[in-house]
Chain A
Amino acid sequence: MARPIRVLVAKPGLDGHDRGAKVIARALRDAGMEVIYTGLRQTPEQIVAAALQEDVDVVALSILSGAHNHLLPKVVDLLKKENVYDEMLVLGGGVIPDEDIPGLKESGLAEIFTPGTPTQVTIDFIKENLKRGL
């Protein structure tokens, strides 16, 4: 039997807007996934350590502080350094201008979900794009 998809929902950056992160965490859980939520103000190093420790399939990063161009690629780089990037799907969400999205994808984020995205869209994306077989 396939094991459930494991997701780390993390909040890099200093902002405290966690409504989106919590909603997505619950929606993924209701969709049958195992969800770990880090809480606020996580450094890229802390996020990667949690991803390793929890052996997750997906790292979902929520940020609304405007520091996304700085912090999201850092998480990807650290995952690469730990040789787990090929196994983990990395997603971003939050108030992120469209024009920043191509650059973030180039740096290794699989998708960026902006305000108004139905949670089902994210759920489907995860199921279709998992890197590691269950």
Chain B
Amino acid sequence: MFDKEKLAKIKQDQANWNENKVEKTLSKFPERRKKFVTGSNQEVKRLYSPADVDGLDYDNDLGYPGEYPFTRGVQPTMYRGRFWTMRQYAGFATAEESNKRYKYLLEQGQTGLSVAFDLPTQIGYDSNHPLSEGEVGKVGVAIDSLKDMEILFEGIPLDKVSTSMTINAPASVLLAMYIAVAEKQGVSSDQLRGTIQNDILKEYIARGTYIFPTGPSMRLITDIFEYCSTEVPNWNTISISGYHIREAGSSAIQEVAFTLANGIAYVEAAIKAGLDVDTFAPRLSFFFNAHNDLLEEVAKFRAARRLWAKIMKERFNAKSPKSMQLKFHTQTGGSTLTAQQPDNNIVRVAIQTLAAVLGGTQSLHTNSKDEALALPTEDSVRVALRTQQIVAYESGVAETIDPLAGSYYIESLTDTIEKGAMEYINKIDTLGGSAEAIEKGFIQKEIMDSSYEYQKQVESNDRIVVGMNKFQVKEESPKGLLRVDPVVGELQKQKINQLKSERDNQLIEEKLNKLREVAQGTENLMPYILDAVRAYGTLGEICGVLREVFGEYQQSVIL
């Protein structure tokens, strides 16, 4: 950005400043710490200047919004066109209860739905399975069959909303249910907009709701890519997630690295299955975390965009610019919230919201202040949504695109994160790719090391968490937390029994047998799953057949 002569002068001036001003000040007033680091332990210098970005080439490294390498954003007008989608992740208890919460959120000005499923649903068990005891409806809504899904979206026109579903191992089944509900509403599948998470690799790494071994899991994913490319063309078929990797304790660099490495694995699997990169890559989407270190997080989002664009263009020879755009959803960092003085969490979420918006997110979930304690109440969800609305309508940061670009610190940090992530990706390549690196425990071990390091910093008060290890107060137990009525489990069991007495059980038998046969071969599974769903086969029955054929994933325990 500066010519050689000018740069040399700046470097000289800076050295002089250091010697004459800084050293003198330091001798009288030492700094607060010997070494300053970011939220994920990158060293931070006292001052950044043109000398720190002397290699920056505006056209190649930054460019323009909506153009390669998309560092400054994926759309030409960004939030001047429309704000990001404000999408609160919600779901608990029964489909009836969750349906009420969705309608409430839509009335409050939310612009998209985001469905949280309970753990039995995420692991492919019906509510009456022995392992579901005590878990039904706890961390999300319980869905056992198309019947529940019909209730979940009752009165919500599926051609008008976009819906994100946090579902991975059984993603095909839940997507099939969504398509079937739409059919009943008279909405064809090509009108559906939304996202399924469908990212199994990060389940093995960090989130834990896997079912099948790697091979069959990758097949289910590529089957979805293929099916949706013609039948549900506006659907985001995967949300490649760094969120949970970060929550598990990774650094910002590791979050970018491991997420994009997983992305590479999915692209390779789809190409290997015979798909053309430009038919499925535009429907890939990403999901990142936003933590408290505002500037590091902004740099992280920018670095992720630039790196993915290069990978798609150079490694996979994508031709369509849409294949090179890293579009992402953000959620504020759950692990940054404290159980102590929960009101302080509102402020943390506001900072993280700024990070996501300054980083150019396409949609955002803001956590509620009480989430270190329980599921959020309606009141605390409203404050979380208002936080987004205040940033959108009052802060002014959405009025121009990528406003922090050109900051010496931001650009230098963007480079650092991109380089650090690329080094990890190279290392993962030498291990044989993401799936292999997970199998060997490499990725889990790296995350574990970061997470333990962070814990030690907090416990030695080297890292301050306000209200937790400094500025504590004596507190009463919080009142009015949301509790899920244990009767939900019984209700779901009754619903399954009733369903099984009403439906055509012989038809189900046929559909499940057909599914078993196809699973043993190589044909695309989606149409057969959809058939079983339409006949009111339960999630547990469908996943049960696939478990029989595919077997189950065995976790490698890494400490």
Contact = CB atoms under 8 A, between A and B. Distances in A.
A16 B339 contact: no
A70 B488 CA distance: 14
24 contacts: A14-B132, A14-B209, A16-B203, A16-B206, A17-B247, A18-B208, A19-B249, A19-B451, A23-B455, A35-B559, A38-B557, A40-B208, A41-B208, A65-B139, A66-B139, A67-B134, A67-B135, A70-B133, A98-B478, A115-B338, A116-B372, A118-B458, A118-B469, A119-B455
Nearest to B465: A116
A124 interface: no
B521 to A, nearest CB: 30
Q: Residue among B119, B131, B484 with the most chain A CB within 10 A? A: B119
Given A22-B448, A120-B459, A17 B208 contact: yes
Nearest to A120: B459
Contacts of A38: 557
Given A19-B247, A19-B249, A95 B372 contact: yes
Contact of B374 (A40, A65, A95): A95
A35 B484 CA distance: 34
Contact of A14 (B123, B206, B375, B484): B123
Which residue, of A13, A38, A43, has the highest number of chain B Cβ atoms within 10 A? Answer: A13
B131 A19 contact: no
B338 A116 contact: yes
Interface in B197-230: 203, 206-209
A39 B554 CA distance: 10
A16 B208 contact: yes
A27 B555 contact: no
B373 A95 contact: yes
Contacts of A29: 559
Given A66-B138, A114-B339, A23 B452 contact: yes
Contact of A16 (B209, B375, B557): B209
A18 B207 CA distance: 8
Interface in B332-352: 335, 338-340
B interface: dominant SS: loop
Contacts of B206: 16
A13 B458 CA distance: 28
A65 B248 contact: no
A5 B83 CA distance: 56
User: A interface, by DSSP: helix, strand, loop or mixed?
Assistant: loop
B37 interface: no
B468 interface: yes
Interface string A1-34: 0000000000001111111001101110100000
A90 B429 CA distance: 43
A19 B183 CA distance: 41
A120 B469 CA distance: 13
B477 A26 contact: no
Nearest to B203: A16
B282 interface: no
Interface string A41-62: 1010000000000000000000
B481 interface: yes
Contact of B452 (A26, A41, A99): A26
Nearest to B468: A116
A26 B247 CA distance: 18
B135 A14 contact: yes
A14 B340 contact: no
Given A97-B481, A115-B372, A19 B555 contact: no
A65 B119 contact: yes
Contacts of A99: 477
A98 B481 CA distance: 10
Given A15-B119, A19-B249, A115-B338, A71 B134 contact: yes
A69 interface: yes
A114 B373 CA distance: 9
A22 B135 contact: no
B134 A19 contact: no
